């Protein structure tokens, strides 16, 4: 069974940093591209970042480029999101999501981890 | 970025009804359109990929159609477990999602 479990969310002050993790199991993690997607009540679902299976291709939403860094450790079946210079508008539930091998879609999602940026 | 507009934003329906949700892209996205279902406090779940591909395990009462800029998700014979929020998403370029359609009783 495919499982994605996020962790690392919490309350952080504006300007602070946080590192999210996503532990994958039930599939060959190293063969799949992965994504981070966030959700806020006001802005809905927003794609945040993408990393290819070998980490050779990485992309970011304009809203986080230069502040967030996506990475992965295929040996540990783990995906990460380092978030720096956090702003109030980064407050959201963050999901890691697997990209389907053929289909350009997100076929499995984790349960999400809440990040709250507030003083 | 490509903007995705869903309509309606919410609808009321009854068990057994046929429900249609529309998604419009701000430019042509060919067939790079996916649909997700989300229930309260849960993660989105993939229903349909590339316009009409049914994800494994998804009931056949769900179907999708369209191309270019206009797409439709249809639920035939609505079931109690189908009351949820539905999102479209384009994967033609930087992924973007529609604003969601809440299907209520």
pLDDT at B105 over 90: no
What proportion of chain A, given as a percentage, has pLDDT over 90?
Answer: 93
pLDDT for the residue numbered A53: 95
Q: C-alpha angle with apex A15: A9 to A19, nearest 5 degrees?
A: 30
Give CA–CA dist B103/B84, Å, rounded. 5
User: Residue A49, exposed/middle/buried by CB under 10 A (0-12, 13-18, 19+)?
Assistant: buried
Q: For residues B42 and B98, is the Cβ–Cβ distance under 8 A? A: no
Q: Is B58 on the interface with A (CB under 8 A)?
A: no
The whole-number average pLDDT for the span B58-82 is 96
Which of A107, A114, A116, A118 minimizes the C-alpha distance to A4?
Answer: A107
pLDDT for the residue numbered B54: 96
pLDDT for the residue numbered B69: 97
pLDDT at A104 over 90: no
pLDDT for the residue numbered A43: 74
Pairwise CB contact (< 8 Å): A104 & B49: yes
Give CA–CA dist A75/A77, Å, rounded. 6
Query: Beta strands B70-75 and B53-54: pairing type?
Result: unpaired
pLDDT for the residue numbered A102: 82
Give CA–CA dist A55/A112, Å, rounded. 22
A100 contacts in B (CB within 8 Å)? 46, 49
Number of Cβ within 10 Å of residue A111's Cβ equals: 14
The whole-number average pLDDT for the span B42-70 is 96
pLDDT for the residue numbered A105: 95
Q: Is A100 on the interface with B (CB under 8 A)?
A: yes
Chain B nearest-CA distance from A6, in A, is: 12
pLDDT tens for A26-72 read 999 999 999 999 999 777 899 999 999 999 999 999 999 999 999 99
Annotate A23-43 with DSSP letters as a single string: EEESS-GGGS-EEEEEEETTT
Chain A nearest-CA distance from B63, in A, is: 16
């Amino acid at each position: 069974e495919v499982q994605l479990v996020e962790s690392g969310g919490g309350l952080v002050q504006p300007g602070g940093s946080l590192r999210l993790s996503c532990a994958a199991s039930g599939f060959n993690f190293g063969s799949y591209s992965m994504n981070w997607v966030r959700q806020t009540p006001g802005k809905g679902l927003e794609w945040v970042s993408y990393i290819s299976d070998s980490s050779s291709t990485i992309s970011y939403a304009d809203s986080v480029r230069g502040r967030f860094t996506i990475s992965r450790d295929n040996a540990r079946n783990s995906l990460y999101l380092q978030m720096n210079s956090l702003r109030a508008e980064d407050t959201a539930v963050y999901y890691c999501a697997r990209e389907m091998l053929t289909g350009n879609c997100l076929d499995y999602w984790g349960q999400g981890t809440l990040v709250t940026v507030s003083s | 970025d490509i903007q995705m507009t869903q309509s309606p934003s919410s609808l009321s329906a009854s068990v057994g009804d046929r429900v249609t949700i529309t998604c419009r892209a701000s430019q042509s996205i060919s067939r790079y359109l996916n649909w997700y279902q989300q229930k309260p406090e849960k993660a989105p779940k993939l229903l349909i990929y590339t316009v009409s591909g049914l994800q494994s395990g998804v009931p056949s009462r769900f179907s999708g159609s369209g191309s270019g800029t206009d797409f439709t998700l249809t639920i035939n014979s609505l079931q109690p477990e189908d009351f949820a929020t539905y999102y479209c998403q384009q994967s033609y370029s930087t992924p973007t999602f529609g604003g969601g359609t809440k299907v209520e009783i």
